[in-house]
Structure 1
């Protein structure tokens, strides 16, 4: 029997870990203390992570925040430079943990970008947003792009990209909304907003029937504007440049501003911007 299976994480140990964190001790010092006391490093790390996660979640709920839920997440534990997308090697260019933001390079090929744009052009119309008061859709003055939706798995190209996304972020294909392609001309923008559905809005229960909350977003850049058009995260002063073939992924474990996932599409200052957006839900999207 291994040391890991012999060592039991008791409620007393969990309380001690939380007390050390509350006292201001660093995670490294707490881990070092546990190892010196005879704890297997792997067991100690798991005990720390689960204890602190449980404590933070309990504290958040006590303060009135919605409960956290599982979210899609790329496997970045070993800080890989590349991830296996199944049919394509994808670069990891940047990762942030709070909020959870990952910038992917070479997520799409140039040919895939051109094909998506070509298929989308005949179907473009003024972009709509979800009407959270009714559960339907509406024109929103904060969003001045034109766009269209592909059905999930509508054609071979879309199905291939959706399978790649699912593999990269470890989330079922069926939990994704249809791929949306958006076109921004000079001056067009999408002002900062959240992608989750506000629990306080009357139309949210209707929206959630189709697959639960949104828990993740992937924005893929299909065409580069000459100036402007970046994806901004105002709460953390981050802007991701709209580089063709690249993408930015972010997740949000609860429908609340504490996730710091406020984001927007900065105005296009010159040229045109094309993106494809994939929203991910808690459950199968119908």
Structure 2
């Protein structure tokens, strides 16, 4: 049987992510050979990826079809029932990204931080191979999460987010708060799941992220979109919304992003991931 000598974009990105998580290159090579890849091609491919050299790939996904999310129909000032107007400070169409100011009040930011401090644990990621959570060297923050509608403040924020993006509260995962000390980061990644790990019984694929900044960072800690050349600096109370899933079940690979290392001070953020469908019964 002829050996495989070309990888897909998805596999290349999985290899990059797995290497960033600290996996041994030889283990990835062994896995590729067992899957039918040519041995020499496997070794060469891993070497080129480690050296940040180009690797020829096959694109198994049709070109992403852009569809404007509900929030795109709103103006530069977005009104909700329990907060002052939220201001759109930047908009990008492909991929769809909004920078938002005044999403959270200073008091709400401080309260979220205070409630989180005694609940922090080492942040984890979803293993692309097993679907289970694990810690990796590429994500060095601490974090916690709040159950949907856990208390009055969380309920107030959840309601505001639902009104802002026009997705029901039950389409959103638990609100997650992350803390980065000096030098900590989250290397380049996607927020959506590999297609093989999408759980249709748990809301399906992630389609959007709302990232809220809870403090001003003295230096570093930007949200970087490397494929776009876009870098967003943390500002207390502000947020960034990016949409990367459409009605066809496609995911937008231009949405890869990272949290750059904190150089001075610390960084606090709150994250809300949105699914295709209702998560909770």
Fold match, TM over 0.5?
A: yes
CA RMSD of aligned residues (A): 2.2
8 Å contact from structure 2 (residues 223, 259) kept in 1: yes
What does residue 155 of structure 1 align with? 151
Picking from 84, 89, 92, the partner of 2:79 is 84
Please give the alpha-carbon distance, in whole angstroms, between the structure 2 residues aligned to 1:135 and 1:71: 30
Please give the alpha-carbon distance, in whole angstroms, between the structure 1 residues aligned to 2:168 and 2:108: 22
Q: Secondary structure of 2:109's partner? A: helix
Return closer, same or farther for 1:83/1:140 CA change in 2, 3 Å cut-off. same
Picking from 84, 89, 94, the partner of 1:93 is 89
Please give the alpha-carbon distance, in whole angstroms, between the structure 1 residues aligned to 2:252 and 2:72: 23
What does residue 179 of structure 1 align with? 175
Give the gaps of 5 or more residues in structure 1: 1-61
Q: Secondary structure of 1:276's partner? A: strand
What does residue 146 of structure 1 align with? 142
Does residue 112 (structure 1) correspond to residue 108 (structure 2)? The answer is yes
Return closer, same or farther for 1:257/1:152 CA change in 2, 3 Å cut-off. closer
What does residue 194 of structure 1 align with? 190
What does residue 214 of structure 1 align with? 206
Does residue 272 (structure 1) correspond to residue 266 (structure 2)? The answer is yes
Please give the alpha-carbon distance, in whole angstroms, between the structure 2 residues aligned to 1:69 and 1:176: 21
Does residue 248 (structure 1) correspond to residue 248 (structure 2)? The answer is no
Q: Structure 1, residues 167-191: CA drift from partner, whole Å, max 9, x if none?
A: 1111111000000000000000001
Does residue 228 (structure 1) correspond to residue 220 (structure 2)? The answer is yes
8 Å contact from structure 1 (residues 150, 179) kept in 2: yes
Give the gaps of 5 or more residues in structure 2: 1-58
Q: CA deviation at 1:133?
A: 1.9
Return closer, same or farther for 1:135/1:172 CA change in 2, 3 Å cut-off. same
Q: Secondary structure of 1:142's partner? A: coil
Picking from 71, 74, 91, the partner of 1:74 is 71
Q: Secondary structure of 2:255's partner? A: coil
